[in-house]
Structure 1
Amino acid sequence: MSETARLICEVVKSARHDEMYLYLDKAQGMSPVPEALRERFGRPLPVMTLLLRPERPLARVDVVKVIATIRAQGFYLQMPPAKDPYLLDLFTPRDID
């Protein structure tokens, strides 16, 4: 296996948005993240450090895509999962007579 297929990654979560995460090259940290995204993301809260490898899948994202994106732009942004339409009803205010 090529060393370029592995990456030591730091995962941080957003203090402002539930289930929004940044996967970062541990050696570079937040430096490649654009200022506009930093402002929207808020204070990064450390979650974990891990060795990304193609043969070791991640739970919600394709590990090969994560590695490639970090190598290309310095970070990978994982957005919160889309809410199923029936779950959105939980957050819809209702007039009760």
Structure 2
Amino acid sequence: MHCFVYASQRKPDTYVWLTRREGFDLLPEPLALLLGDLRFALEVELTPQRKLPHEDNEKVLANLAEQGWHLQTPPNQTLSVCNRPNHNREIDPVKG
């Protein structure tokens, strides 16, 4: 899968992997606002055999296939919850 990686200018060591160059419309609006401006970092062909230094490539490929993007955060950062498929579901204000 051909991927485009962008670095967040607001969150150090935080990257967004996209299936389309400048495909920022794929990102949920709250996440895009949180990350701020994104700077192009890398274009790469990602395969199941390719080893990634800081990410599980199976997880990256699955997120890219399912939603068109993957969020890479520094170890132990809570933003990675955004990679869960229903992370941007609407929350009922009464139920929470």
Task: Please indicate, yes or no, whether the TM-score normalized by the shorter chain is above 0.5.
Answer: yes
User: TM-score of the superposition, structure 1-length normalised?
Assistant: 0.73
User: TM-score of the superposition, structure 2-length normalised?
Assistant: 0.74
- Count residues in correspondence: 77
> Where does structure 1 lack aligned partners over 5 or more consecutive residues?
1-6, 84-97
Q: Give runs of ≥4 in structure 1 deviating > 4 Å.
A: none
- 1:2-81 alignment, distance < 5 Å: 7-26=1-20, 29-81=23-75
Q: CA deviation at 1:29?
A: 1.5
CA RMSD across the alignment: 1.6
Higher relative contact order (CA 8 A, sep 6+): 1
Tell me which structure has the larger Cα radius of gyration. Answer: 1
* % identical aligned pairs: 32
> Where does structure 2 lack aligned partners over 5 or more consecutive residues?
78-96
